């Protein structure tokens, strides 16, 4: 019986994938580097670029003759996944994890199924994120502006902050990524505004000026929103107090 991805779709994997294209930057650094032949423009690997996550050049992906493409249900378009599968390319689609343990469990299953591997960084990250600190602050966490988009319910990054003792002011919102007005953001009860540099590149001159009455903390988006080897050091990198 064929293995299935996070969405339950069968994936006709080779014995060990050797020509992998990653459409997900946060997955790219998790897979064996010697297997990667194509990555997005935002991936931290030096190999063939195939465009962005949302709009990859599918023809370029096909030209690389991959034996596996990695995608994510939230980051990649279903039509691109469907076209790759229609052309006979195995595609493993990961779910959008709501917690750190879910994210690491998804990676563990992918690596064990495709490469029969359990890298040291994976067990180290699992151990590092078991502990949940007592809540000491409530934060608004924008991930985009023009329009403003913030973390809402059931997000990986929200759980990272929860484990660091920071509650999400929009955790009870019915949307995973609400789009509140700036007035709503300013009046929302909070102690902090957490501004990652990814996916939107918030900086000292782009973001904090919108919240003059609240302490703003600039953080590494890779360590807040990606799950993979970066989680080993993320707990030390994400300094919020």
Which of the four pLDDT bands, split at 50, 70 and 90, describes residue 224?
Answer: very high
Give the 3-state secondary structure of 91-112. Answer: EEEECCCCCHHHHHHHHHHHHH
**Whether 148 and 65 share a structural domain:** no
**Whether 230 and 161 share a structural domain:** yes
Gap between the Cα atoms of 154 and 166, Å rounded: 14
Task: Note the pTM of the prediction, 2 decimals.
Answer: 0.94
The residues, any chain, with a CB within 8 Å of residue 80's CB and separated by 6 or more, are 23, 56, 58, 71
> Is residue 120 one of the residues assigned to a domain?
no
**Whether 90 and 141 share a structural domain:** no
Query: How many other C-beta atoms lie within 10 A of the C-beta of residue 173?
Result: 15
Which CATH number fits the domain that encloses residue 5?
Answer: 3.40.50.1980
DSSP 19-39: SEEES-HHHHTTS-GGGEEEE
> pLDDT tens digits, residue range 141-189?
999 999 999 999 999 999 999 999 999 999 999 999 999 999 999 999 9
**Whether 134 and 229 share a structural domain:** yes
**Whether 47 and 90 share a structural domain:** yes
> Is residue 53 one of the residues assigned to a domain?
yes
Among residues 50, 72, 96, which one ends one of the domains? 96
Q: Give the structural domain span for 37.
A: 1-96
**Whether 135 and 75 share a structural domain:** no
The per-residue pLDDT for 15 is: 87
**Whether 12 and 56 share a structural domain:** yes
Cα–chain center distance at 152 = 15
- CA-closest candidate to residue 95, choices 112, 110, 80, 111: 110
> Is residue 219 one of the residues assigned to a domain?
yes
**Whether 74 and 166 share a structural domain:** no
**Whether 169 and 86 share a structural domain:** no
> Is residue 108 one of the residues assigned to a domain?
no
Total number of domains constituting the chain: 2
Q: Is the pLDDT of residue 1 over 90?
A: no
Gap between the Cα atoms of 236 and 241, Å rounded: 12
**Whether 136 and 38 share a structural domain:** no
Beta pairing class for 149-150 and 68-72 = unpaired
Which of the four pLDDT bands, split at 50, 70 and 90, describes residue 220?
Answer: very high
Q: Over pLDDT 70: what percentage of the chain?
A: 100
> Is residue 4 one of the residues assigned to a domain?
yes
Among residues 96, 119, 137, which one ends one of the domains? 96
The per-residue pLDDT for 239 is: 87
């Amino acid at each position: 019986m064929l293995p299935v991805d996070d969405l339950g779709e069968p994936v006709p994997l080779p014995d060990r994938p050797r020509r992998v294209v990653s459409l997900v930057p946060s997955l790219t650094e998790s897979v064996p580097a010697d297997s990667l032949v194509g990555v997005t423009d935002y991936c931290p690997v030096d190999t063939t670029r195939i465009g962005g996550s949302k709009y990859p050049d599918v023809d370029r992906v096909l030209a690389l003759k991959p034996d596996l493409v990695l995608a994510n249900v939230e980051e990649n378009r279903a039509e691109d996944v469907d076209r790759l599968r229609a052309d006979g390319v195995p595609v493993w689609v990961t779910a959008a994890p709501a917690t750190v343990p879910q994210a690491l469990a998804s990676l563990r299953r992918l690596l064990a199924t495709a490469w029969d591997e359990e890298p040291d960084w994976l067990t180290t990250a699992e151990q590092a994120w078991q502990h949940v600190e007592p809540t000491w602050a409530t934060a608004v966490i924008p991930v985009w502006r023009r329009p403003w988009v913030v973390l809402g319910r059931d997000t990986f990054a929200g759980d990272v902050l929860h484990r660091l003792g920071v509650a999400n002011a929009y955790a009870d919102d019915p949307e995973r990524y609400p789009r509140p007005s700036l007035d709503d953001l300013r009046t929302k009860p909070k102690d902090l505004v957490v501004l990652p540099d990814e996916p939107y590149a918030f900086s000292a001159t782009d973001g904090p000026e919108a919240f003059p009455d609240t302490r703003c903390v600039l953080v590494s988006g890779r360590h807040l929103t990606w799950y993979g080897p970066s989680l080993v050091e993320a707990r030390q990198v994400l300094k919020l107090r």
